[in-house]
Amino acid sequence: MKFSDAFISTLRQRVSLTDAVSKHVRLLRKGQMMMGLCPFHGEKTPSFSINPSRGTYHCFGCGARGDVIDFVRQHTRVSFADAVISLAGSIGMELPKETNESTLQD
């Protein structure tokens, strides 16, 4: 399934990365950032950081980085489309019925 850039942008704005990650990782506030143990590799000292204002994460240990869609893709090992469908469903966002071929992203 393909989605328009506008739909993906709206989804990224509506879904909180912090909320999505905190379902799997215990996060602590450090200034404006959120920190926790990386869910992608074993570690004892938190190196996984979230910048809530940007909606991005980065792990200084393993190099994982991205946005909420990337997090769902990496954490659950699903395709881009499945991650988008899951996130949209989690906030009750209706999926587009048809898209214009010139503005598609997969």
pTM: 0.86
- Pairwise CA distance, residues 98 & 54, whole Å: 29
pLDDT classification of 99: cutoffs 50, 70, 90: very low
Q: Please, which residues bridge with residue 3 across strands?
A: 105
Q: Enter the tokens of residue 39.
A: 């869910």
Average pLDDT (9-28) is 95
Q: For the chain, what's the residue count?
A: 106
Strands (E), 1-106: 3-4, 28-30, 33-36, 48-51, 56-59, 65-66, 104-105
Which H or E run contains 36? strand 33-36
The rounded percent of the chain whose pLDDT value lies above 70 is 92
Average of per-residue pLDDT across 53-74: 97
Judge whether 56 and 17 are in contact, CB under 8 Å.
Answer: yes
